[in-house]
Amino acid sequence: MIKKNFTILNLFFLFFLSTICSAYSSNIELRKNLVVKAVEKAAPAVVNIKAAKVVERYSNPFRDFFGDDFFSPFFKDIFPGYKEKILEQSLGSGVIIDGDKRLVLTNAHVITGASNIKVKLLDGREFEAELVGSDPDFDIALLKLKGSDHLPQAKMGTSKDLMVGETVIAIGNPYGFSHTVTTGVVSALNRSIRTKYNTYFGFIQTDAAINPGNSGGPLLNVLGEVIGINTAIYAQAQGIGFAIPIDKAKNVIYELLHFGKVQPVWLGIFGQDVDPQVASYLGLKSPKGFLVTEVVKGLPAEKKGIRPGDVIFFINGVEIENKDDYMHFLLNVTSETEIRLRLIRQGKIYEISSLKPVHFTEDMARSYLIKRWGFWGKRYKNSIVVTKVYPNSPAYDLGLRPGDRILKIGGITQNSLENLVGAYIRYRLQKSIMLVVVRNNRVYYVRMRT
Mapping DSSP onto H, E and C, the string for 138-185 reads: CCEEEEEECCCCCCCCCEECCCCCCCCCCEEEEEECHHHCCCEEEEEE
Query: Which entry of 90, 93, 159, 215 is annotated as an active-site residue?
Result: 215
Identify the pLDDT of residue 202. 86
Count the neighbouring beta carbons within 10 Å of the beta carbon of residue 129.
Answer: 26
Q: Are residues 254 and 270 in the same domain?
A: no
Its pTM stands at 0.79
Task: Single out the residue in 124, 145, 166 at which a domain terminates.
Answer: 145
Say if 35 falls within a structural domain: no
CATH of the domain at 372: 2.30.42.10
Identify the domain containing residue 231 by its residue range.
Answer: 155-259
Say if 91 falls within a structural domain: yes
Say if 7 falls within a structural domain: no
Say if 21 falls within a structural domain: no
Q: Are residues 92 and 168 in the same domain?
A: no
Q: Are residues 349 and 295 in the same domain?
A: yes
* Whether the Cβ atoms of residue 353 and residue 323 lie closer than 8 Å to each other: no
Q: Are residues 161 and 254 in the same domain?
A: yes
* Mean pLDDT, contiguous 10-residue spans, the chain (450 residues): 55 62 63 87 92 66 53 52 63 92 93 88 92 91 90 94 93 80 91 74 88 87 95 66 93 91 93 89 87 95 94 91 90 90 91 92 94 96 95 95 96 94 93 94 93
Q: Are residues 80 and 162 in the same domain?
A: no
* Whether the Cβ atoms of residue 77 and residue 225 lie closer than 8 Å to each other: no
Q: Is 215 a catalytic residue?
A: yes
Q: What is the DSSP letter of 217?
A: P
Q: Are residues 337 and 372 in the same domain?
A: no
Closest alpha carbon to 205 in 174, 235, 243, 179: 243
Q: How far apart are CA 120 and CA 256, in angstroms?
A: 23
Q: How far apart are CA 416 and CA 429, in angstroms?
A: 22
**C-alpha angle 223-227-228 in degrees, rounded to nearest 5:** 140
Output phi, psi for 443, to 5 deg: -95, 130
Q: Are residues 239 and 295 in the same domain?
A: no
* Whether the Cβ atoms of residue 304 and residue 345 lie closer than 8 Å to each other: no
Chain-centroid distance, C-alpha 118: 20
Q: Are residues 66 and 127 in the same domain?
A: yes
Say if 165 falls within a structural domain: yes
Q: Are residues 63 and 139 in the same domain?
A: yes
Say if 332 falls within a structural domain: yes
Q: Is 149 a catalytic residue?
A: no
Q: Is 109 a catalytic residue?
A: yes
CATH of the domain at 164: 2.40.10.10
Say if 78 falls within a structural domain: yes
Q: Are residues 321 and 413 in the same domain?
A: no
Chain-centroid distance, C-alpha 85: 27
Task: Single out the residue in 359, 378, 409 at which a domain terminates.
Answer: 359
In sequence order, what are the beta bridge partners of 93? 48
The total number of structural domains that make up the chain: 4
Q: Which stretch of DSSP H or E encloses residue 234?
A: none
Q: What is the DSSP letter of 114?
A: -
Task: Single out the residue in 325, 359, 393 at which a domain terminates.
Answer: 359
Say if 33 falls within a structural domain: no
Q: Are residues 327 and 406 in the same domain?
A: no
Q: Are residues 251 and 287 in the same domain?
A: no
Query: Which entry of 90, 109, 134, 159 is annotated as an active-site residue?
Result: 109
Identify the pLDDT of residue 179. 82
Where does residue 113 fall: left (phi above 0), alpha (psi -120 to 50 degrees), or beta otherwise? left
